[in-house]
Amino acid sequence: MAGHLLDKGHRLTVWSRTPEKSNPLAAKGAAVASSLEELAHSCDIVFLCVTRNEDVEQCVRGLQPGAKPGFLVVDHSTVSPVLARAMHGFLSEHGANFLDAPITGGSMGALKGQLTIFCGGEQADFDRAAPVMEAYAKRAELVGGPGLGQTMKLANQIAVGGALLALCESLAFAKKAGLDLAQTRELLSTGAAGSWAFENYGPKILAEDWSPGFSVTNQRKDFAYTLEAARLLDSAVPGTALVDRLLSRLEEEGHSDWTTAALYQTLVESGFESWT
Amino acid sequence: MAGHLLDKGHRLTVWSRTPEKSNPLAAKGAAVASSLEELAHSCDIVFLCVTRNEDVEQCVRGLQPGAKPGFLVVDHSTVSPVLARAMHGFLSEHGANFLDAPITGGSMGALKGQLTIFCGGEQADFDRAAPVMEAYAKRAELVGGPGLGQTMKLANQIAVGGALLALCESLAFAKKAGLDLAQTRELLSTGAAGSWAFENYGPKILAEDWSPGFSVTNQRKDFAYTLEAARLLDSAVPGTALVDRLLSRLEEEGHSDWTTAALYQTLVESGFESWT
């Protein structure tokens, strides 16, 4: 994402919790800040992409003392809507601005500059960030006020989890029934069962290739925020809760870094009564 | 389907449990048999499309006494693989043949002659039926021996159920969270959550239009056969079991004939703890 900003001619200063990660960008012409405060002081907009609530909070609190008037943090991490609203509030109290802006499209979308970005916050902040995000997004939309960008991302993860379950459960059943898996995947892809997951994860399942893609740990992190948000909204998400329980088995077995399509293997190894 | 056979120039004799249903076909030139036995006697191949195990068994037992040597029944109903294997065995004992050949593509696929057909049985029987089925199918494949056509259809229904859950659960969550539903459906359709269900059922959910499409009752009939097959295979299908429980609520509320996308409404009316 930062590389695309450089390629499009933006002036870029970078900072990473793991300093050596900045080297390739420095070699391409990016300045490197020595602290979050220095980074904030040298930038109009800081784009943040970390993992969990606590990472976002630590970064935002580290940036704030260096903020100049009109300073804007755009957070591309997937975290809790509650934390996003707290960060909006915190920066706003200090005269700065925050846009929650989780991304979808995976590492391939980032490499190709084809991410989709769900933004929550003020229209004026979105309007400032949008022309910059164009460098790595095929699409960025303001979906509502503070926290609603994260909420849209969680709705997306609910649907992604359900599509994963649909794929893995049907192929595990086909496997046990003695159907040809390649034929099953191909036939089911073309009709009412068709999905992005069938097209993209299906081949990994046929190859039983669980090498890292979107990991079990990252999916469960997103589900933890989803289940928290659903509880606060009193919204029923039984499918998400089920997929989370299935993935927890992979974690218990030491496969946290496997791609989520390994849920297929959990189902193949389970009996009819196991999860009902 | 029968209309397409006439349109393609096949000689057609029809019989229906509801005699007046034959009238439009008779008006187009089809002969009408007065009994199943007479139908079997006047045909080389009979294509059957009814609803449940007991309907298929009744029809096959009614046809058998009229069967000439080489007589073939092609069953387009979605029923249990166990029943399909029993019908193969029964006709085979009487010198006749059976192909289980459930269809997918819905009433629209039938009207347009664009169905997909999963066939289980003998290669020779498939080879006889395939050129005729071309009249109403975009695709027909032999997927294995007796019963495996039905098994493939059940694998398809597992994936269809999961895709329905993914769609309804994500949109119900979005609704409760105050997101714009049209924007949510559209944004989620374009990425890793995308599916046939999002494209085709999404608009019905936005309109809260539960008018008959694929009905709750028919989906639960398919799930009953799926759960029976999964139990026999000791295969874990917790997603299917969950969707079946959710749809049972619609039946209890008197909405058996609603389209399955009404599962969205069940979720909107449920609290976080309801189904977990």
Structure confidence by residue, pLDDT tens digits, A198-252: 999 999 999 999 998 899 999 999 999 999 999 999 999 999 999 999 999 999 9
Beta-strand pair A137-144/B45-48:
unpaired
Phi and psi (nearest 5°) for A77? -65, 155
Residue A171 contacts B, CB cutoff 8 Å: yes
* Contact at CB, A162 and B160, closer than 8 angstroms: no
* Contact at CB, B188 and A159, closer than 8 angstroms: yes
Torsion over CA of B86, B91, B95 and B98, rounded to 10 degrees? -90
- Say how far residue A173 (Cα) sits from the centre of its chain: 29
CATH homologous superfamily of A151-270 equals N-(1-d-carboxylethyl)-l-norvaline Dehydrogenase; domain 2 (1.10.1040.10)
Is residue A243 classed exposed, middle or buried when 0-12, 13-18 and 19+ CB atoms within 10 A define those classes?
Answer: buried
Residue A162 contacts B, CB cutoff 8 Å: yes
Q: Closest residue of A to B230, CA-based?
A: A272
Average pLDDT, chain A: 96
Q: Note the pLDDT of residue A212.
A: 83
* Contact at CB, B170 and A193, closer than 8 angstroms: no
Q: Say if domain A2-144 classifies as CATH 3.30.70.60.
A: no
* Paired tokens of A67: 């903020």
How does residue A3 score in pLDDT terms, banded at 50, 70 and 90? Answer: very high
Q: Note the pLDDT of residue B200.
A: 92
Strand partners, B141: B118
Arithmetic mean of pLDDT, A175-201: 95
* Contact at CB, B174 and A151, closer than 8 angstroms: yes
Q: Which residue has the tokens 């389970």?
A: A270
CB-CB neighbors (< 8 A) of A144 in chain B: 178-180
Q: What is the pLDDT of residues A226-236, one digit of tens each?
A: 999 999 999 99
E strand intervals along B49-163? 72-75, 97-100, 103-104, 115-120, 137-144
Any alpha helices (H) in B94-122, and if so which ranges? 106-112
Which run of H or of E encompasses A118?
Answer: strand A115-120
Phi and psi (nearest 5°) for A2? -65, -40
Q: Note the pLDDT of residue A107.
A: 84
Instruction: Give the residue among B155, B120, B246 at the shortest CA–CA distance from A264.
Output: B155
**B101, B119 Cβ separation under 8 angstroms:** yes
Where in the sequence numbering do the catalytic residues of A fall? 153
Size of interface A-B (CB pairs under 8 A): 260
**A240, A230 Cβ separation under 8 angstroms:** yes
CA distance B233 to A268: 11
Q: Note the pLDDT of residue A101.
A: 98
Q: What is the pLDDT of residues A249-274, one digit of tens each?
A: 999 999 999 999 999 999 999 999 99
* pTM of the shown model: 0.96
How much of chain A exceeds pLDDT 90, in percent? 96
Strand partners, B142: B119
CB-CB neighbors (< 8 A) of B272 in chain A: 230-231, 233-237
Residue A187 contacts B, CB cutoff 8 Å: yes
Q: Note the pLDDT of residue B98.
A: 98
Domain residue spans of chain B: 2-144, 151-270
CA distance B246 to B220: 10
> Cα dist. A208→A118, A171, B58, B121 in Å?
32, 12, 43, 29
Q: Note the pLDDT of residue B212.
A: 83
CA distance A28 to A47: 18
Q: Closest residue of A to B141, CA-based?
A: A187
CA distance A120 to A141: 9
Q: Note the pLDDT of residue B154.
A: 98
CA distance B14 to B166: 41
Please provide the DSSP assignment of chain B as one string: -HHHHHHTT---EE--SSGGGGHHHHHTT-EE-SSHHHHHHH-SEEEE--SSHHHHHHHHHHHGGGPPTT-EEEE-S---HHHHHHHHHHHHHTT-EEEE--EESHHHHHHHT-EEEEEES-HHHHHHHHHHHTTTEEEEEEEESTTHHHHHHHHHHHHHHHHHHHHHHHHHHHHHHT--HHHHHHHHHTSTT-BHHHHHTHHHHHTT---SSSBHHHHHHHHHHHHHHHHHHT---HHHHHHHHHHHHHHHTT-TTSBGGGHHHHHHTS-TTTT-
* Contact at CB, B170 and A152, closer than 8 angstroms: no
CB-CB neighbors (< 8 A) of A172 in chain B: 235-236
Minimal C-alpha gap between A170 and chain B (Å): 5
Q: Note the pLDDT of residue B107.
A: 85
Indicate if A151-270 has the same CATH topology as A2-144. Answer: no
Please tell me whether residue A97 adopts helix, strand or coil conformation: strand
Q: Note the pLDDT of residue B124.
A: 98
CB < 8 Å from A in window 138-157 of B: 139, 141, 143-144, 148, 151-152, 154-156
Mean pLDDT, consecutive 10-residue stretches, chain B (276 aa), reads 96 96 96 97 97 98 97 98 98 98 92 96 98 97 98 98 98 98 96 93 95 93 98 98 98 97 98 91
Which run of H or of E encompasses A14?
Answer: strand A13-14
Q: What is the pLDDT of residues A47-83, one digit of tens each?
A: 999 999 999 999 999 999 999 999 999 999 999 999 9
